[in-house]
Amino acid sequence: MTNHKNIKNYNTQELIGLSQDIRKKILDTVSKNGGHLSSTLGATDLIIAMHYVFDAGVDPFIFDVSHQAYAHKLLTDRWDRFDTLRKFGGISGYTSPKESPYDYYCAGHSSTSISLAIGAAKAIALKGENRIPVALIGDGSMSAGMVYEALNELGDRKYPAVIILNDNEMSIAKPIGAISRYLSQSMASPFFQKVKKRTEKLLEHLPDGATYMAKKFEESLRLITPGLLFEELGVEYIGPVDGHDIEELIKTLKIAKELKGPVIVHAQTTKGKGYEIAEGTKEYWHGVGAFDLKTGSSHKTGGGAKSATAIFSEALLELADEDEKVVGVTAAMPSGTGLSMVIEKYPDRFWDVAIAEQHAVTSMGSLAKEGFKPFCAIYSTFLQRGYDQVIHDIALMDLGVVFAIDRAGIVGEDGETHQGAFDISFLRAIPNMTLMAPYNETTLRLAMEFAKEYDHPCALRYPRGAFMADDAPSTPYEPGRSVLLKEAKDVLFVGYGNGVGRAIETAKYLEGVDISILDLRFVKPLDKDMLIRLAKTHNRWFVFSDSAKMGGVGSAILEFLSLQEISNVTVTTFEYEDCFITHGNTEQVEESLGILPEQLAEKVVQKLDIIRS
């Protein structure tokens, strides 16, 4: 199949035909496997032009977030493997250097591309090589502060780099009519670039009066184009250009390449291009499960258990209805975190602040200080981006912000950049922080009621999808208090969050083994009284938690037992080993980790036999 090495010989019509073939391949695959759709369809022509003008084998191709890079994968020797997209053992939905030498960097989080491009440009300069980094970034990623930190240095140091801004939803600044469009397109011409450089040189030698007039003329041109911000930062701006006109894109990228400095190429594209049902700014088509290509309808069937996110959403709306002091925030994930419904009803109390986790966390600190009760709804993997703010702006002040941590545990096809493995480990070390985890609908609601009244920082975690355990009556949450769900002798299963359900399911495979099951509820603070009591009656403990082993629940319990000088207890933890966890169907991933209930039951039996012997 066509690849990046031979498309340089294609004419325009052949390139257009190639883009149609690529879109068809993407649609056929994503409709079966699920994946990111609208953004990657919209970026197809841009990526073809990138490969035509630059050399992916030499020039670093850097994709922001990289969920829009499917066309790049197809052009770099993965056409025949593309049907394995996001499957266990198959190719990743994001760029991955482990998968291909043409994937420069692993990227699953937003707004890192320009920083990476600067780093690559510095290395190229130090090596004295003739290469140029090319970064493709979406307009949504431009809402994160890291982008402007990078642009600030890039404009100052003037490293050669081409930044392609894929504007597919909201313009950075709207062009004003036909005159602006004409001037913006003219800026892409070699003539304009030569005039601009000569004007800059001329300004250095003109008298003050003439310099003033010339500067005003140059500024007036830029004021009616969208590039003012970038120009002021010291980065050349070209655009807007039609992101689906391959011929125009190639001409523009060639000019940008020849400028030998930092350049922003602003390309306007349509999300879902080539698949009419998905075209436009429909959020649903950003990331999808399997669907029918003809109708666009999902292959999912109804009747499944309610997701933890849906339960959180309903409970938060109820709390907001009852108390006007309840407020909340999310960072560009209103649907994913369940805040859409609450934002719609209370737009003055709940906010989507775009891809700005650091700002989201810190802003909630002020609201807590002013007497409000903020809920910061955020994925486990994205909370990592606001870690300093959790410590410095919330915990240090001991402010009552609630961190509602969605997608805790295995998230499936998004893989190693998105698995919610580390939140317990990195939050447990923070003073003033309270950590808890519910295991079904009732306990999630009870945990939220507790958090609403709790006047200190706290975090509650819950899984993607439904809880493993069925719903059941339960007692209200009290600080650092666990609940013994089943009392027996000898063997103790300690469950935390969704791990309680995993413990219950594992116990079903162990007939004849007398098992106590503890809902730990809090990993910080631990229920010391309960643990000391159980240590007197149970000397074999097994820990179940969907989290990293290092610094996790088992670690917390072992630290406690050591400090209490309790030596008769043997602790085995079934948390994740010290590795990044691959992508794939959640059950297949869990099977590869050996944490399905039937696998865990075998491990328990093996451990008990070793102890008995």
Q: Which residues of 288-313 are buried (b: 16+ CB within 10 A; e: fewer)?
A: beebeeeebeeeeeeeeeebbbebbb
Helices 246-258 and 12-33: crossing angle, nearest 10°? 100
Question: 3-class DSSP state for residue 507?
Answer: helix
Question: How many angstroms separate the CA atoms of 388 and 397, rounded?
Answer: 13
Closest by CA to 469, choosing from 306, 592, 300, 303, is 306
Question: How many angstroms separate the CA atoms of 121 and 400, rounded?
Answer: 44
Rg of the Cα atoms in the chain: 27
Judging by beta carbons within 10 Å of its beta carbon (0-12, 13-18, 19+), is residue 247 exposed, middle or buried? middle
- The residue assigned the tokens 């719903």 is 471
Question: 3-class DSSP state for residue 167?
Answer: strand
Question: How many angstroms separate the CA atoms of 28 and 74, rounded?
Answer: 13
Q: Which residues contact 335 (CB under 8 A, 6 or more apart)?
A: 283
Closest by CA to 267, choosing from 297, 241, 303, 235, is 241
Question: How many angstroms separate the CA atoms of 478 and 454, rounded?
Answer: 10
- The residue assigned the tokens 């309680």 is 500
- What positions carry a catalytic annotation? 271, 357, 385
Closest by CA to 395, choosing from 362, 438, 423, is 362
Q: Which residues of 553-582 are buried (b: 16+ CB within 10 A; e: fewer)?
A: bbbbbeebbeeeeeeebebebbbbeeeebb
User: What H or E segment, with its residue span, contains residue 38?
Assistant: helix 38-42
**Under 8 Å between Cβ of 64 and 112:** yes
